[in-house]
Structure 1
Amino acid sequence: MPSPVPLSRLRRGSPSTHLEPVGSPDRYLPGSPTPLRHFFIKSGFVCGSPVAAKQVPAELQVGEKIGAGSFGVVYRGVYCGHHVAVKRMHRRQGLSEGDDISKKSFLAELNVKSLQHPNLVTLLAAWMQPHFRYGLCNDGDVEEKSHEGTGILIMELLAGPSLYTRLFSMDTPISDRSCLEVGRGLAAGLSYLHGRGIVHLDVRPANAIMVGSGVKLCDFGCSQRLEPPSHKGRGSPTGAGGGGAYTHRAPELLRGERASASNDIYSLAVTLWQMWALCQPYGPDGSAALYNVVAHGRRPDFPLQWPPFPVGPSLRRLIEACWQADEASRPLACHIEDATVKLLQELAG
């Protein structure tokens, strides 16, 4: 029987599963932004019109590397006197398909350039840094030619670890209350995105940053805009979906269908399950389970040590509703936010 998962969905270049902090010496990022890709935010107002290079404020200072993924590397930095996170997109020499994927990821990050929400990482500025190459003119002279190069993203800098690190790399276990607060925050952020016609398509612990007792959703490199969004936050996207980690990807996306807001709800369900199960969905080799996820409706197994009454049964019902096969029957993000608030109230007793 043929696999229900298109091979194109499993091609090399999908996002990594988590961020790994590493060290790097301080240095400056050479070059200046081009006028075609730059915008900046002041007092909550986004200027998206082209800006001349001479209008770009002071040089960007880049410090230690703090994270890495398939599409880019994240550094600490200082931009216009403010401490920021700097994401420099990869350029894959000699791989035209890789270059195209990286560019699409960079442009997808810009979907949130005008958005500000307590549960979303704020994008402050972005531009495409030019690269230069040399060639011979007809008269034999050497000619310098610029061409589109590396995408640079400037984001707010957050001190907290990723949810993935908090769950799997820290000695102190995360409390039920903290898990519910994270679930509420992720649902609130998704509700805000969906209400503006944007789907994230890569919701998972690695893409959620802990901020005190709350959380901020980050990494919008797989996001898409829906055209037009309906009042329920569902609609038709500009292109076929398929981004994100396969272990958290909705079965309809694994089949190659078009994206919708309900895809994020499925991914949120797997993330909620993972916060209490404290393991990877489908074990260390999740790829072997993809066929059963699509063809037979398999979902991650609930552990025996599930949270007790009253939170446990209600939480399980919520998760099962969010990852059900019929995407039209999955709850909206705003309803999940309300449900987690009620669970927090039950937990407080």
Structure 2
Amino acid sequence: MPSPIPVTRLLPKDIFPSLDMGICSSPLTKHSHSSTLQVPVRRFHGATTSRLWSSVINWKELRSVQPVGSGGFGSVYRAAYFGETVALKKVKKCTKNKLASRQSFWAELNAAHLRHRNIVRVIAATTCVPEDFGDESSIGTVLMEFVGRENLQQIIYGSAAPLEEDRWLRYSEDIAHGLRFLHSHNVVHLDIKPANILVSSEDVCKIADFGCSLKLDHGCEASPISPYLSHVGGTYTHRAPELLRGEGVSPKADIYSFGITMWQLISREQPYTGERQHVLYAVVAHNLRPSLHINSVFQSKLGQRCKTLVERCWSRDVSCRPTAHELLPHLEQLRSQV
């Protein structure tokens, strides 16, 4: 389950003893006594931001806060922080399921200690908000790098411009690179979909929105769903069938979601039509998947090879799905043929 992150996961052993520590209480604990999250406190300057994140936000340094978007998770704003453009995310407090909203906030930090080109970087996060910035409906604030306003969902469905083969294959590679890095650090995202893939001004894909993520036990291929988890979230159209059945969580669940996402990049169609419950039942009971005959692109030589790869990714049999590490050479080979 999303949980307080030991400082030893944030820093090399030769660095963290010399740092001043900040403490932020975590609402996620199996026990009655309080739990704390200890992270290094550093200002947002230069090289330190490439390695560390902070449990303290210097609110006086926030400037020009402008709304970008909102949804069930909360609201996102664009702001200036120490002179650099950042994204400020307020995680919404769910009145119907308070535990789920707390888990969502702390899950956002499961990859906070990681730095990678294809993952949105966390700068700081806190549950302690001054009155000037306060919001009774918010449970916490996460400060992140500002990637841009565009995501893959908008590129796939909101643009009339063609999506060339080299471009969607490059996007697929970016996502797979990000997943390989996450999985190598035992983090599973559990909500990979076009809307959660941001696209930078350099046309680079970055995985965002870790509110459904989990940190697996070290060296554990699959972990059972904890009874303390009020949700194993994700979007039903992209959720792996083993998760729908309540089985163990593994990195292969992200590979399934990647397969659906890659299909969307290729076809530019919606995965399913029909009511949610009917789709869920058909995915689990009848192996329903998006149609591979809906678009002529799957009929080309390249399309046939992509079809084979996508089918492996969304296989009912978890063991038949490739790992993110195994996925990348296939994508690189496909791109070399364009």
Does the 8 Å contact 2:91/2:138 carry over to 1? no
Q: Look up the match of 1:19.
A: none
Q: What is residue 174 of structure 1 aligned with on the other side?
A: 163
In the aligned structure 1, how far is the partner of 2:225 from the partner of 2:52? 23
Q: Residue 330 of structure 2: which of 336, 339, 344 is its match?
A: 339
Query: Hey, what's the Cα distance between the residues in 2 that align with 1:72 and 1:330?
Result: 33
TM-score (norm 2): 0.79
Residue in structure 2 matched with residue 159 of structure 1 by the alignment = 148
How do 1:51-70 and structure 2 match up within 5 A? 56=58, 58-61=60-63, 63-70=65-72
Higher mean C-alpha displacement, 262-271 vs 282-291: 282-291
Distance 1:214 1:59, change over 3 A: closer
Secondary structure, counterpart of 1:258 in structure 2: coil
Alignment equivalent of 1:235, drawn from 207, 222, 226: 222
What is the deviation of 1:285?
A: 3.6
State the alpha-carbon separation in 2 of the partners of residues 47 and 277 from structure 1. 38
- TM, length-normalised to structure 1: 0.77
Equivalences for residues 293-332 of structure 1 within 5 A: 293-302=283-292, 303-332=294-323
Counterpart mapping for 1:142-157 below 5 A:
150-157=139-146
Task: Compare 180-189 and 221-230 and name the one that shifted more.
Answer: 221-230
Letter in 1 for 2:254: D
Q: Which runs of 5+ in 2 are unaligned?
A: 1-21, 26-38
Equivalent in the alignment of 1:7: none
Name the structure 2 match of 1:120.
Answer: 119
| 2:29 equivalent in structure 1 | none
Distance 1:57 1:277 in 2: 44
Residue range with higher mean Cα deviation, 276-285 or 182-191: 276-285
SS of alignment partner, residue 85 of structure 1: strand
Cα deviation for residue 158 of structure 1 reads 1.4
The Cα shift of 1:43 comes to 4.3
Deviates most, 304-313 or 189-198: 304-313
Quote the offset at 1:80 in angstroms: 2.1
What is the CA-CA distance between 1:313 and the residue it aligns to? Answer: 0.8
- Equivalent residue for 2:208, pick from 211, 218, 243: 218
Identity value in percent:
34
Give the one of 252, 255, 261 matched to 1:262: 252
Secondary structure of the residue that 2:100 maps to in structure 1?
A: helix
Paired AA for residue 46 in structure 1: L
CA-based RMSD of the aligned residues comes to 2.5
**Judging changes above 3 Å, is the alpha-carbon distance between structure 1 residues 47 and 299 closer, same or farther for their aligned structure 2 residues?**
closer
Runs of 4+ in 1 over 4 A off after TM superposition: 37-41
Distance apart, 1:305 and its partner CA: 1.5
The 1:235/1:120 distance shift into structure 2, 3 A limit, reads same
What residue number does 2:104 align with? 105
Q: Distance in 2 between matches of 1:66 and 1:219?
A: 15
Per-residue CA deviations over 1:171-191 (Å, capped at 9, x if unaligned) read 212111111011111011000
Contact 1:61 1:77 in 2 (8 A): yes
In structure 2, do the counterparts of structure 1 residues 74 and 345 end up closer, same or farther at CA, with 3 Å as the change threshold?
same
Q: Cα distance, 1:131 vs. partner?
A: 8.0
Q: Of 69, 92, 96, which aligns to 1:90?
A: 92
Tell me the amino acid that sits aligned with residue 198 of structure 1. V
Q: Deviations over 1:120-161 (max 9, x none)?
A: 1111110113589xxxxxxxxxxxxxx996310001101251
Alpha-carbon shift at residue 277 of structure 1 (Å):
1.9
1:7-51 deviation line (CA, Å, top 9, x unaligned): xxxxxxxxxxxxxxxxxxxxxxxxxxx952675562423256x66
Q: Which ranges of structure 1 fall in alignment gaps of 5 or more residues?
A: 1-33, 133-146
- 2:24 corresponds to 1:36: yes
Per-residue Cα deviation, 1:245-265 (whole angstroms, up to 9, x for no partner) = 000000011111221100000
Q: Deviations over 1:272-330 (max 9, x none)?
A: 11112212211254442111110111111111412443311110000000111111221
Matched, 1:196 2:196: no
1:190-238 C-alpha deviation (Å, 9 max, x unpaired): 00000000000000000001223331110000000010235xxx23267
1:289 corresponding residue in structure 2? 279
CA contact (8 A) 1:225 1:238 kept: no
User: Do structure 1's residue 46 and structure 2's residue 46 form an aligned pair?
Assistant: no
